[in-house]
Amino acid sequence: MIRCCRSLGCNGFADFKMRMAQSLASGQLFMHSDVSPGDSVAEMAAKVFGKAARTLLQVRSQLDPARLETAIALLCGARRVECYGLGSSGIVAADAQHKLFRLGFPSVAYSDAHVHGMAATMLRPGDVVLAFSASGRTVDLISSVDLARESGADVIGITALGAPLAARCTVALELLVDEDTDIYTPMTTRLAQLTVVDTLVVGMALRQGPELLTRLQRAKDSLRSKRVRGFE
């Protein structure tokens, strides 16, 4: 029994039982996904993809539909949207801004703590900040969020469950991801953040109705001349 548990990546039977209980509580089947030095490329790829897929399914079951609805409503009614993040979360902030501007919403993304700190002081009621943090404990980002709230802006936080950042937001979309971001650069956490952004953007698009399709088509047409002929 002990050998079997260790082959699954557990320290022993007690560790196996704990992980099994956690997986049952989250609705996911227990499966060891950490890569090993002896894994083949195929095995390594299967584990990476498997972990990503399970994370997205887990986060899907965690998200509160009421909070999503509130976040979408805030974004749709925003005068301006600013996306803040640092490190890998700064990359997610840039992705969010790219999607928002294609929907026609005035938006910017800042991944420099000094810049989004200053920008937050210039916000006003009717503005919305999308704040991204894998840990939710980054002091510089929390400071900028506090400044944004003091300026009268609403803040939507996409961050870790129970994190200090979540308590400071108008609405917090909290993610419980089995990943130690204190040691490793966020991988599946980043994928979860990106998917939440996609969910928000699709919700916003649905609220805009058919006229959005005309604008999107015009944007698409503007790119045709930049494609290799025959592959537009």
Chain segment 134-181, per-residue pLDDT in tens: 999 999 999 999 999 999 999 999 999 999 999 999 999 999 988 776
Task: For residue 82, give the 3-state DSSP assignment.
Answer: strand
229 part of a folded domain:
no
- CATH no. for residue 106? 3.40.50.10490
CA 60 to each of CA 57, 65, 88, 193: distance values in angstroms, whole numbers, following the listed order:
5, 10, 21, 11
Q: How many distinct structural domains can be found in the chain?
A: 1
pLDDT computed for residue 224 by the predictor: 77
What does the pLDDT average to over 71-76? 97
173 part of a folded domain:
yes
48 part of a folded domain:
no
Task: For residue 130, give the 3-state DSSP assignment.
Answer: strand
Q: Average model confidence (pLDDT) for the chain?
A: 85
pLDDT tens, position by position, 6-59: 544 566 666 555 555 555 444 444 344 577 888 899 988 888 888 889 889 999
Q: Phi, psi (5° rounding) for residue 80?
A: -155, 145
Is this model's pTM higher than 0.75 or not?
A: yes
119 part of a folded domain:
yes
pLDDT computed for residue 203 by the predictor: 94
Cα separation, 133 vs 220, whole angstroms = 32
74 part of a folded domain:
yes
Range of the domain at 79: 65-214
105 part of a folded domain:
yes
1 part of a folded domain:
no
18 part of a folded domain:
no
pLDDT computed for residue 157 by the predictor: 98
